[in-house]
């Protein structure tokens, strides 16, 4: 709990620190406080100095949200569009006002062919890569390498980037580029840091990864620890490979004696390929599009007591930081 209180203190200023202390673990090290206070005071102290004295009264209300603003720097995020359907980007946008909050407070969108007028891949903190890569298209091959070079964190956004998804079924011959027949997940070409599987990935999952990436890059040590704990399973997925299928439920869960029949996998599948039969998932393999959602959603693929045990405070925190 101590970790989250500190997180709140950074994001909301001193009020929250005091509030947070009440339910902080008795064992929390006082030494950590110094780390927390510092970033809070900077923006607060910096602001009034810039304001003209006579405007203080008026400005107070307008400035308030700014005073609560976490830290001055945002991270830079780009959306790199490979061979995908733009559904992942739409999903990001489906955070609605939440997207505006993210762009307002935590991240600048520095590259996004669909939404921003920047033609070439710039340096950025986080690249959200949508789609698999067409190896028959030189431009795509170049851009995926450039993305790796210029981004600190590469996130495979959605089933196609992670696992190929529906593009796995492509065999060329489509108009107007019939010669485009080879498509591979980005992880076959470059090192990928984080996976967000599913077709489409959910707005909430994308939001959580963006917020955690922000903490990872801009937070203090403790925030980095929370972000790392949260992101680790998604990094492990990235390290685990570029193939996914409903069959993973068989090979990695049931065959391993781990399936307890909760049904999360069936709920997660976009194409309803999974039904629960006699307490275990039954995958209609012809329907499966290889998006990887079922396995990643399964509590027996990965489960972190540290993260999930704090579901209440993390959920509250996300709610608060997403307030416009």
158 binding partner (options ligand SF4, another protein, none; Cβ < 5 to 8 Å by kind): none
280 torsion bin: left (phi>0), alpha (psi -120 to 50), beta (else): beta
Looking at 10, 75, 217, 283, which residue binds ligand SF4 (CB under 6 A)? Answer: 283
Nearest to ligand SF4 by Cβ — which residue? 246
292 vs 166: CA distance, rounded Å: 11
249 binding partner (options ligand SF4, another protein, none; Cβ < 5 to 8 Å by kind): ligand SF4
The residue among 98 and 219 lying less far from another protein, judged by its C-beta, is: 98
Q: Where are the beta strands (DSSP E) in 219-290?
A: 274-277, 280-283
- 253 forms part of the interface with ligand SF4 (CB under 6 A): yes
Q: Residue 115's CB: how many other CB atoms inside 10 A?
A: 12
Instruction: From 111-119, 174-182, 209-217, 246-254, give the range in contact with ligand SF4 by CB under 6 A.
Output: 246-254
Instruction: From 31-39, 97-105, 213-221, 256-264, give the range in contact with ligand SF4 by CB under 6 A.
Output: 256-264
156 vs 180: CA distance, rounded Å: 21
Instruction: From 36-44, 88-96, 181-189, 258-266, give the range in contact with ligand SF4 by CB under 6 A.
Output: 258-266
Cβ 306 vs Cβ 229: under 8 Å:
yes
In this structure, are strands 274-277 and 280-283 parallel, antiparallel, or unpaired?
antiparallel
Looking at 261, 308, 309, 315, which residue binds ligand SF4 (CB under 6 A)? Answer: 261
Please state the φ and ψ torsions of residue 133, each to the nearest 5 degrees. Answer: -105, 130
Cβ 280 vs Cβ 261: under 8 Å:
yes
Which residues in this chain contact ligand SF4 in the complex, by CB under 6 A?
Answer: 244-246, 249, 253, 259-265, 268-269, 271, 273-274, 281, 283, 288-294, 298, 300
């Amino acid at each position: 709990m101590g970790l989250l209180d500190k997180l709140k203190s950074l994001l909301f200023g001193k009020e929250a620190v005091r509030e947070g202390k009440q339910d902080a673990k008795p064992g929390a090290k006082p030494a950590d406080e110094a780390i927390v206070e510092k970033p809070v005071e900077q923006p607060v102290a910096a602001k009034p100095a810039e304001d003209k004295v006579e405007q203080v009264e008026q400005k107070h209300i307008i400035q308030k949200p700014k005073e609560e603003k976490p830290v001055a720097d945002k991270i830079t995020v780009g959306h790199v569009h490979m061979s995908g359907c733009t559904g992942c980007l739409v999903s990001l946008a489906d955070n609605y006002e939440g997207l505006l909050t993210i762009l307002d407070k935590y991240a600048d969108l520095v590259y996004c062919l669909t939404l921003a007028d920047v033609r070439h891949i710039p340096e950025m903190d986080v690249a959200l890569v949508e789609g698999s890569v067409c190896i028959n298209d030189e431009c795509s091959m170049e851009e995926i390498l450039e993305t790796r070079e210029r981004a600190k964190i590469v996130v495979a956004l959605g089933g196609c980037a992670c696992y190929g998804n529906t593009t796995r079924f492509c065999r060329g011959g489509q108009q107007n580029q019939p010669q485009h027949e080879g498509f591979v997940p980005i992880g076959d070409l470059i090192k990928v840091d984080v996976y967000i599987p599913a077709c489409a990935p959910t707005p909430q999952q994308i939001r959580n990864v963006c917020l955690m990436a922000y903490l990872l890059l801009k937070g203090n040590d403790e925030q980095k620890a929370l972000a790392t704990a949260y992101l680790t399973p998604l990094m492990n997925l990235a390290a685990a490979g570029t193939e996914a299928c409903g069959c993973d439920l068989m090979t990695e869960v049931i065959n391993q004696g781990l399936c307890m029949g909760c049904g999360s996998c069936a709920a997660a599948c976009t194409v309803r390929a999974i039904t629960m039969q006699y307490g275990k998932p039954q995958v209609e393999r012809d329907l499966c599009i290889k998006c990887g959602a079922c396995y990643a959603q399964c509590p027996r693929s990965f489960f972190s007591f540290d993260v999930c045990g704090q579901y209440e405070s993390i959920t509250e925190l996300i709610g608060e930081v997403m307030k416009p």
